[in-house]
């Protein structure tokens, strides 16, 4: 196993793939320049505490965002909508969504596709690790104007 890690590190170095530098607030700098290849270990991304039951990490490119969201059991994500398409993939735990007049429980190994501008709300039924993909990136998350997540619910 150690040999495989050394080989991977050597390949990464040879290809000049480097971890992305992050500011102290966890937000990576973005410019209008062409997209570049970036190697980003989650361990290098700041863990942002939004409220006592909700934390997240996020990285983004020019047209896509990936967020790792940690929700403790009972955490409520209030109803909201956004222009961004969203794919939610549950790694651990389960989220109950209220969306499109239905209740949908998404468990580990399952995905929910949420169209643009569709109001939705969620509750963590267990301690949950969720990956959310957004297109385009969520400017309210990047700019930290997502007040609906920053209050204890």
Determine what percent of the chain is predicted with pLDDT higher than 70: 77
Q: Which of 74, 72, 59, 112 is nearest to 90 (CA)?
A: 112
Q: Are strands 85-92 and 128-135 parallel, antiparallel or unpaired?
A: antiparallel
Contacts of 58 (CB under 8 A, 6+ apart): 26, 45, 48, 65, 66, 67, 68, 141, 142
Nearest one of 66, 59, 69, 63 to 87, comparing CA atoms: 66
CA angle, 37 then 40 then 42, to 5°: 160
**For 4-60, what is each residue's pLDDT tens digit?**
445 544 444 444 333 443 443 444 444 445 778 999 999 999 999 999 999 999 999
Per-position DSSP letters for 43-55, written without gaps between them: GGS--EEEETTEE
Q: Which two tokens stand for residue 92?
A: 């651990």
CB atoms within 10 A of CB 56: 21
Domains (ranges, CATH) in the chain?
Answer: 2-27+40-149 (2.60.120.10)
Closest CA to 95 of 80, 83, 81, 112: 112
For range 122-137, the mean pLDDT: 98
Contact 25, 34 (CB under 8 A): no
pLDDT in tens, 63-75: 999 999 999 999 9
């Amino acid at each position: 196993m150690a040999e495989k890690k050394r080989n991977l590190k050597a390949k990464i170095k040879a290809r000049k793939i480097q971890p992305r530098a992050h500011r102290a607030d966890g937000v990576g700098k973005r410019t209008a320049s062409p997209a570049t290849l970036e190697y980003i270990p989650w361990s290098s991304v700041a863990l942002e505490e939004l409220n006592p039951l909700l934390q997240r990490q996020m990285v983004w490119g020019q047209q896509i965002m990936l967020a790792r969201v940690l929700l403790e059991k009972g955490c409520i994500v209030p109803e909201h909508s956004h222009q961004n398409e969203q794919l939610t993939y549950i790694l651990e735990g389960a989220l109950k969504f209220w969306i499109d007049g239905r209740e949908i429980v998404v468990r580990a190994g399952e995905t929910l596709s949420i169209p643009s501008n569709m109001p939705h709300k969620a509750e963590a039924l267990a301690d949950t690790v969720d990956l959310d993909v957004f297109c385009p990136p969520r400017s309210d998350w990047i700019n930290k104007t997502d007040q609906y997540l920053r209050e204890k619910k």
